[in-house]
Amino acid sequence: MFRKFLLGIALLVLCAGIPAVSAEIGGDEGWYAVNCNVDGASVYFDGQYMGITSGGVLYVPVYSTGTPYNTIRVERSGYRAYSGSLPSAPGMGDTVNVYATLQPVETSGSIYATSSPSGAAIYLNGNYQGTAPLTIPNLSPGTYSLRADRAGYLSDQSSVTVRAGQQSTVQFTLTPVQQYGSVSISSNPSGAYVYMDGVYKGRTPLTLNSVSAQNHNIELDLSGYYDWTTTVSVTSGVTRYVNAQLTALPSSAGAIDVVSYPAGADVYLDGKLQGKTPSAGAYVISNVATGSHTVRVSLAGYQDYTTSATVSPATTSHVSAALQPAPVTSSGSIAVTSSPSGAEIYVDNAYKGITPLTVEGIGAGTHTVMLALGGYSDWSTSVQVGAGSTASVSASLAPTPTQAPSAGMAPLAVIGALAVLGLLAGLRKRD
């Protein structure tokens, strides 16, 4: 009895000295040597914590005949985690090297700034950085205020968000600063009609203020004289002077002046565009050969006005065009296409034809368009049709889904088949 007691004590002591392992592990030990460029990194095998690296390595004991580990993960704060597959398990007393390189997590970003035109001075939170295009590096994550300045242009500002490890891009489009001057225009003889860049401005002598600082085309027209043109360069804060010496027309030519109500209409002489009627006064067609000519006045939304004008030497003929509004149409059309084509078209449930097709004579307002094609699901939409305009409808038709057999039918079919086979077997036994 005393011997059994001692044997029990010995077994307990022996078991206390053996480490606990899973039921799947057994056999002699080998080692994985996890080599890492960072000390203090945590090592996991198949998600199970194994320890931390020290002196560039962590030795992990494994049983050579046990269930092998498959994956490794190595991680440490401030670094990107490393994950990979483990090589084959080491044999008894062997060591297998595993290498894990951790990369530091990037903590800064950058901004790439461009401007149109280029060369703008770039300021970050009010501090000068250089001229565009340029890259502003090593910025902590966050939102920054950027400003672009260039002489002769309005400043432009933008807010840019910087993220770690990324480059944000900002494009500044600068608007020129508008500057103004004046133009003083006189003519000999005076009273000539003045046009600047094709727009009627008045009669000479005339001073134009608030003229944009750039080149402008000046034209003077006076009945009985040749048209006179020049280009004037306007500078900010400066008055430019233009003095035109008009040349009289020979006695074999005349002129036609044209007014329209409303103004702004295009004027054609014998089919050739001459200009637009001004808001005040008349548009003068100078140096017109004597004889009969056709004058047409055209303005969007109005019916054309056409008349015949007879020109005599050294005289001016007058044309006054009272334009009449063009008739308003109350219907439009719908251009319908589909993929695939050949679908039946129904507008407000009324059949109209096959795609592709433009359906004419549709009343202005909202309409329902429905397309139908065999093997495809019906398609419909609402469309707004404007008077005198064409609305577009384009449909991508979806194939009709194929009906799958019910999941509950297969077991019933099997049971039915077994019943039939059983009945046949019974009939054979009786025979």
Return the CATH architecture of domain 180-244: Sandwich (2.60)
Q: What is the pLDDT of residues 101-114, one digit of tens each?
A: 998 887 889 999 99
From edge to edge, which strands make up the β-sheet containing 167-173?
Answer: 134-139, 109-116, 167-173
Query: Cβ neighbours of residue 331 under 8 Å, at least 6 residues apart?
Result: 361, 362, 363, 364, 385, 387, 388
Per-residue model confidence (pLDDT) at position 426: 54
Mean pLDDT of 299-313: 92
Residue 3 pLDDT > 60? no
Predicted local confidence at residue 410, as pLDDT: 46
Report the pLDDT value the prediction gives residue 110, as an integer from 0 to 100: 94
* pLDDT at residue number 161: 94
Sequence ranges of the domains in the chain: 13-104, 109-173, 180-244, 253-322, 331-396
| Superfamily per CATH, domain 253-322 | Immunoglobulins (2.60.40.10)
Q: Give φ, ψ of 115 to 5 degrees.
A: -140, 155
The model carries a pTM of: 0.32
Mean pLDDT, rounded, for 213-239: 90
- The confidence band for 421, taking pLDDT boundaries of 50, 70 and 90, is low
CATH topology of domain 13-104: Immunoglobulin-like (2.60.40)
Share of the chain above pLDDT 70, in %: 86
SS3 content of the chain, % helix, strand, coil (to 5): 10, 55, 35
How far apart CA 141 and CA 149 sit, in angstroms, is 25
pLDDT digits (tens, 9 = 90+) for 187-204: 999 999 999 998 999 999
What per-residue confidence (pLDDT) applies to 404? Answer: 53
Three-class SS of residue 64?
coil
Q: Note whether 337 and 397 are within 8 A (CB).
A: no
pLDDT band per the 50, 70, 90 thresholds, residue 177: confident
Distance, CA of 282 to CA of 202 (rounded, Å): 10
User: Which residue bears the tokens 């059994």?
Assistant: 4
Averaged over 303-325, what is the pLDDT? 91
Q: Which CATH architecture has domain 331-396?
A: Sandwich (2.60)
Beta strand pairing status for 316-322 and 253-261? parallel
Each residue of 7-26: pLDDT tens digit?
A: 344 333 333 333 333 333 44
Mean pLDDT of 172-185: 90
Q: What is the mean pLDDT of the chain?
A: 85
Whether 13-104 shares its CATH topology with 109-173 is answered yes
Q: Is the pLDDT of residue 64 over 90?
A: no
Which CATH superfamily includes the segment(s) 109-173? Carboxypeptidase-like, regulatory domain (2.60.40.1120)
Longest dimension (CA), the chain: 155
